[in-house]
Amino acid sequence: MGSGLFKPRVHPDLRDVFSKMSFFDKIGFLFIHAFDKRNLWHKVPVPIGLLYLNTRRTLLEKYNLLAVGRSSHGALFDPKEFLYRTEDGKYNDPHNAEAGSQNTFFGRNMEPVDQQDELMSPDPFVVATKLLARREYKDTGKQFNILAAAWIQFMVHDWMDHMEDTGQIGITAPKEVANECPLKSFKFHPTKELPTNSDGIKIGHYNIRTAWWDGSAVYGNNEERAEKLRTYVDGKLVIGDDGLLLHKENGVALSGDIRNSWAGVSILQALFVKEHNAVCDAIKEEHPNLSDEELYRYAKLVTSAVIAKVHTIDWTVELLKTKTMRAAMRANWYGLLECTP
């Protein structure tokens, strides 16, 4: 299929990647493009909506992912030697032992752009105030409550966090929106830039968490953290007598992740510590000969799967609230034949 024939139908920013696609991928792209222009995917019958979502995902995986840094692709291992999740996220992908592990580079969706001179134009405070500020209150209590916000932060604490630089940057709200900003100024640590030592993208950023859905907000992102959270009795994790997280003398919670936390996240961390311990009891009752280590590993597998299931077929479905997305997320978890809308 000649790219020139359909060039007027493709957005200028996408014409280069379109020209590199195979014949069938171009057909899929035009199908997606037509839906996107008319905002149709969630309004059509569910089977067509599912076809749209699957086609979009396939194209994005092929043409919208850029590797950063030297890949360990080809560093094979025997999956049978790693029956459980490792603390630092290694040995999940049988074709890439380090994929998604702690302190590996974030991938990208586009080439980096030097925007130092333009980064503050428009000012982030202005963008937040003009674009994101709530103009009128809308009650969404029948669909969501504050635990929804706690849940997604709990998930982010599982998946990702940029390594920070040591110095701080400060920004102040410009006069035009200062009266509308509760926080007039603040300081933060910028993301640390690291050389990738590769021929492609030269600068990258480390993920200091494990990227897998492995419950690391509960269990930690490395062996050192994980060891501090275990009782080493019947595979269980430490928890207070009151059912809440224990705290060190300095007030810091004993949990898998403590950065930028609050009561909502801590409650969910405590909840799944208790879930882990309950799973340990259930497994031990059925298999009394298992060791502390085996009970811990099996309970971690079960509990992290429960977390993933809640997010997939409960939280996401409730957030997006369409028949197509409900079917898609159930298909993601149960399989296509069980995804009744």
CA distance 138 to 142: 11
- Residue 177: name the closest of 120, 131, 134, 130 by CA: 130
Per 3-state DSSP, what percentage of the chain is helix, strand, and coil (rounded to 5)?
Answer: 45, 10, 45
Are residues 321 and 312 in contact, defined by beta-carbon separation less than 8 angstroms?
Answer: no
- Residue 316: name the closest of 142, 152, 145, 157 by CA: 152
Rounded to the nearest 10 degrees, the angle between the axes of helix 146-159 and helix 263-286 is 70
State the amino acid at position 91 in one-letter form: Y
State the amino acid at position 308 in one-letter form: A
Catalytic residues, by residue number, are: 157
Are residues 10 and 47 in contact, defined by beta-carbon separation less than 8 angstroms?
Answer: no
